[in-house]
Amino acid sequence: MSAAGAIMDRMTTVPLTAPRGDETADPGEAVPAETEPSAAPVGIVELSERVAASVLTRFPWLVRASEIMLALFTLVCLVAVGTRLSALPLLPIPLFVVSWLFLRRLRGSETRAQQLRWSLLMALAAMVGFWVISVVARWVS
């Protein structure tokens, strides 16, 4: 047995009925210190599911704001076609549409796992769309 284990075995608490500073309490009446059962270890997936669910619960307007932002990004791409006189700014639009579809699935999801899955896929599709915008900007300029 380790030294820490031996110390934990000898640890006792003074009964709550003893006055403060009373060291004359009978050690036989002392209640052994109870250790609380530790919660089951939480993995990164379960933690991510909890975070995604809590964010969606606390901020229900976030899904609507994301839809509006995706519509604005698509509109900017369409305006860029007219100002650049090139079809290259149309490349990210399919990714924004896919992101919007994932967002619609997120709105209808019922479990934490589904909420995490659809929010990650939506964010990934939007990020790839932004990356495509940066690549197109280098090609056009």
- Tally the domains of the chain: 2
In a domain, 5, yes or no: no
In a domain, 127, yes or no: yes
The model's pTM is: 0.65
Residue found under tokens 């003893």: 18
Q: What is the pLDDT of residue 63?
A: 92
Q: What is the pLDDT of residue 88?
A: 87
Q: State the residue range of the domain holding 123.
A: 111-140
CA 106 to chain centre: 14
Residues with pLDDT less than 70, the chain: 1-41, 140
3-state secondary structure of 23: coil
In a domain, 118, yes or no: yes
Q: Domain ends where: 67, 85, 103? A: 85
In a domain, 72, yes or no: yes
